[in-house]
Amino acid sequence: MVSARVAGLGAALPPQFEQRRLWDEVFDGHFGGSRVAARMFDTAGVARRHSSTPPYELAVAAGWSTEERMRRYAERAPVLGLRAVRRALAAAGTDPDEIGLLAVATCTGYGTPGTDIELAGSLPLRADARRLLVGHMGCHAAIPALGAVADYVAAHGRPAALVCVELTSLHVQPGTRDIDQAVVHALFSDAAAAIVLRPGDEGPGLRVVDVAARTDTARRGHMTWRVTDLGFRMGLSPEVPEALGEHVGPLVKDLLARHGLDRSEVAAWAVHPGGPRVLDAVAAGLDLAPAALDPSRRVLAEHGNCSSATVLLVLDEILRAGPPGGPVVMLAFGPGLTLYAALLDA
């Protein structure tokens, strides 16, 4: 079977705001001056993040209906996604009419015709191009979507693209004293990231070797993403890092063993930065050196947690530094409680 290789990555980011400015102008009042919420913002590992919803809108967004939020998503998401996929196509030296499959992953907005249709028309794609929407999976969606795109490329010998577009800022919730909501509002950010895969057994670009998953249904209530009349509301248990730390070692060990590899042979780790405690738990669970997750920490600091788009931003951060010189493991986590991993290699 033909291999699927990473030919190009691209990102599109809304305006960037300092974390301190967002606290001072929006969330200090939103959380009623809560010292606990202030501490969550100070310790989130986020220095700056992106928001398609400017501060003056964030201050009132908690009162928007879900319909109003979806209207804004329909206006803003396709524009951001188009910029990201065009950059990925340019990096891959690929024309839109070569694309046989376009996958769109999102958990922050829906409508039909949706973002996938808008991108198909704006690029434009061929009329016979396939489309796949990966919806409401959460932060880990990029990896199962990448697996589906890679399978298509390998089976059909045609290039394919994945676009992750998330506008988490549209889901500001009413003010509360709940600590989990302070954590959510301190971390999450907006972004679009895209990746183009091309067929080829040899040549530049990392090959998508395998994808693996591990789900702990007994802890499915630890991370939730509920549709409410006032947008989508996230539930986040403080036990999530401990649970991820418990499962990440077996997940990665099994994935690597299938290909005769050991953790010591992994050249780079593209780990979704769900937050500082999540990264610490992953590092401990995999017995990694302190610097191994520096790319993830840099992405968290400069961009925040952009849900499904984030792990592609981390992979891009790694590849911009040059060829990793060995296997790369991607890791992302979401509701379920679900862990996904992908193995990439030259």
Q: What is the pLDDT of residues 220-231, one digit of tens each?
A: 999 999 999 999
Q: Across all residues in the chain, what is the average pLDDT? A: 96
Residue at which a domain ends, from 199, 220, 255: 199
Task: List, edge to edge, every strand of the sheet that includes 4-12.
Answer: 130-135, 101-106, 160-167, 190-199, 4-12, 207-215, 338-345, 328-334, 268-271
One domain for residues 48 and 187 = yes
Of the candidates 212, 91, 86, 244, which has an alpha carbon nearest to the alpha carbon of residue 143? 212
The catalytically annotated residue of 107, 139, 164, 306 is: 139
Q: Minimal CA–CA distance to 239: which of 269, 268, 281? A: 281
Closest CA to 45 of 237, 223, 302, 313: 302
Annotation says 306 is catalytic = no
Q: Residue 288: which CATH number? A: 3.40.47.10
DSSP letter at 95 equals: -
Pair of tokens at residue 11: 């990102």
Q: Record the pTM.
A: 0.97
190 and 214 in a single domain? The answer is: no
In 3-state terms, what secondary structure has residue 187?
Answer: helix
Alpha helices in 46-114 (DSSP H): 55-61, 66-92
- 116 lies in the same domain as 9: yes
Residues 49 and 85 in one domain: yes
Looking at the structure, do residues 228 and 245 belong to the same domain, yes or no?
yes
- Domain of residue 93 covers 4-199
What pLDDT, on the 0 to 100 scale, is given for residue 1? 66
What total number of domains does the chain contain? 2
141: DSSP letter: T
Residue ranges of the chain whose pLDDT lies below 70: 1
- Is 12 in the same domain as 159? yes
Are residues 13 and 106 both part of a single domain? yes
Judge if 224 and 146 occupy the same domain.
Answer: no
